[in-house]
Structure 1
Amino acid sequence: MIEDRERKTGEELLMILVKAVICLILFYFAVNEPTAVYKEYPRLENFADGLMVFLGPSLVISILRLIVIYWYIKKHKFKSNIKDNFILGINRIVSILNTVFIALALTSFWSINLQELIFSVSIVAAALAVTFKDYIANMINGLIIMFSDRLSLGDHIRIGEHEGKILDITLINMILQNEDSDMVIIPNSLAFSSVIVNQSKQNTKKLSIEFDMALDNGYTPEYLENHLNKIIEKYTDNVMPGGLTVKTISINKDVVVFKVMILLKRYDKIKEREIRRAINTALIRLSAVLKTG
């Protein structure tokens, strides 16, 4: 992972160097303008101007991006291969700015009047803002989430009925990986407006299992707690002391709905799956014992 990061950084520095060399060559020709060549090939001058319009700002933005990310990593004493929301947000903004620079470069290449372009773009932008307001809201909410310290890549969160680890945050969606290793894609606008439980920030994990028992069983919450606490005794390294509780959710005509809540010390998908399986097996056996009797 570190080698991949170093190789990526080397490629970025090489790209900055290439941009700088091309900018210097274009600047030299701009100062010592070869009018004969430009008169013979007028498109060449437009191409050089457009390339300069793109490479100049893009070079400055690339250098500033590396400086800001380097400062941020050193300030927070992160590893060089860290995945962080702030860095992700910086990268997304740089991508947007480069797209804008390309659009401006095309105007220079095709010799489009800048005032006419701005007027036309403003009309088109207004129409696009109305038509694609949901996408624009997603992009804005995505940037807000990226620069927020409430959510980070790798956090285990719950949004409504969805629960999982944050794999990526794009300008449109937040991508989660649930316990079944399925990819869950949630629009940023939904994530931004929903109640989010970030279990990673709590340094604990709550495991809940809802089940029902027939009224004829006669099991009480106290009995179930004592029985299930014996089941999870071998998981004391993963379960908080006194972290298992059983609550009564509802009492219906024939069944009682219970909920087991287990407070884990940390998020561990493998151990969580083992504990869940042990609890489910114990509950199944309780029901089977009564039916046999």
Structure 2
Amino acid sequence: MMVTDKTYKNANRRERIIFLVKLLVYAGIVFFNLEHPPFYNKFGWLFKITNALSFFLGANLIISIAWLVILSWYTRRHRTKPIEKDNFVLGINRITSVLNTIFFLLAIPIFFGKDLLQLVTSITIVAAAIALLTKDYIANMINGLIIMFSDQLSLGDQVRIGEYKGRVMDITLINVVLQNEDDDLVIVPNSVIFTAIVLNQSKQNIKKMTIEFELDHKRSFTLEVLEERLRHSIAAFESSYTPDSFSLKIIEIKKDFVQFKIQLLLPHADKTTERSIKRALNTEIIALAEGVE
């Protein structure tokens, strides 16, 4: 999900407050565990809870400190980079969530009095077996991290991935979420991105609009007249696209029809304007197909 720089700063401030609260709670738990109050002897389950909490909070605090240090260092070095499109920040947040989840799962057996070293050894063996069975899933997660820590795809980019195209709304460890022209959310697995041809129009700071259509041979027209009529149909939008970028090409000549392709560049990606241009062009194409002068 995209956030503004102000929202991000507020979230960062909130994270710092939560960190201080967790630090105070952790210090209190450690103090009580060291003092070992007498009521621990009566309520053994309470000691197990505080022991598990101290393990989880200790790990969580270390992760939070690393997160704050890395993020502070990165934001100082990239002050001009929009936070809402920053894959590095997104990747760090995803890794932090995964590590916190792992330590939370490790804290559960501690509550039941299990030996941590023996537990980790057992988990390592089980994890190796699971990794063999879920190698595709793990590969997908690794691909997600590669995408996050690269500049090839960023939040808000207008992209085309194979047959899918739209704006990048979110990048997760499993998939990339696109919003297409119909405002539908398209979920593309990360593994597909690494095997498909990806076109990122936002990296060129332009939006290429393409329309393909067919006209029957029975309609008498020349390429010059056809291009002139199509240009005239979008004359009201001359300031919204690069005039020299307009091109009309013949893709293929069939027995009964000719297949064409219109292309033009929009310097600024505006969905409303793009839809209006497409509507004007499609209206003119329908008129041409019906023989309306």
State the TM-score, normalized to the length of structure 1: 0.90
CA offset digits 1:167-213 (Å, max 9, x no partner)? 11111121111111111111111123221111111111111111111
Matches within 5 A, 1:75-86: 75-78=77-80, 82-86=84-88
CA distance in 2, matches of 1:149, 1:80: 13
Structure 2 SS opposite 1:275: helix
After TM superposition, give the deviation of residue 286 of structure 1 in Å. Answer: 1.8
After TM superposition, give the deviation of residue 83 of structure 1 in Å. Answer: 4.5
Which one is further off, 45-54 or 277-286? 45-54
Equivalent residue, structure 1, for 2:211: 209
Give RMSD over aligned pairs. 2.2
Which one is further off, 21-30 or 250-259? 21-30
After the TM superposition, which parts of structure 1 deviate over 4 Å for at least 4 consecutive aligned residues? 1-7, 78-81
Partner residue of 2:235 out of 233, 236, 245: 233
Are positions 1:23 and 2:15 aligned together? no
CA distance in 2, matches of 1:30, 1:263: 66
CA distance in 1, matches of 2:82, 2:228: 48
Matches within 5 A, 1:160-199: 160-199=162-201
Equivalent residue, structure 2, for 1:101: 103
Which one is further off, 157-166 or 258-267? 258-267
Q: Return closer, same or farther for 1:3/1:258 CA change in 2, 3 Å cut-off.
A: closer
Matches within 5 A, 1:135-174: 135-174=137-176
Equivalent residue, structure 1, for 2:245: 243
Are positions 1:33 and 2:39 aligned together? no
After TM superposition, give the deviation of residue 33 of structure 1 in Å. Answer: 3.4
Identity %: 46
Equivalent residue, structure 1, for 2:16: 13
Which residue identity is paired with 2:28? I
Which one is further off, 37-46 or 95-104? 37-46
Which residue identity is paired with 1:189? S
Q: Report if the CA contact (8 A) 1:225-1:244 is conserved.
A: no
After TM superposition, give the deviation of residue 19 of structure 1 in Å. Answer: 0.9
Q: Return closer, same or farther for 1:82/1:206 CA change in 2, 3 Å cut-off.
A: closer
Structure 2 SS opposite 1:222: helix
CA offset digits 1:108-144 (Å, max 9, x no partner)? 2222123432232123212322332222222111111
Q: Return closer, same or farther for 1:3/1:157 CA change in 2, 3 Å cut-off.
A: closer
Structure 2 SS opposite 1:257: strand
CA offset digits 1:3-56 (Å, max 9, x no partner)? 65454334322211111111211232344333x433333333332221111111
Which one is further off, 204-213 or 223-232? 223-232
Equivalent residue, structure 2, for 1:66: 68
Question: What is the total number of aligned residue pairs between the two structures?
Answer: 290
Equivalent residue, structure 1, for 2:257: 255
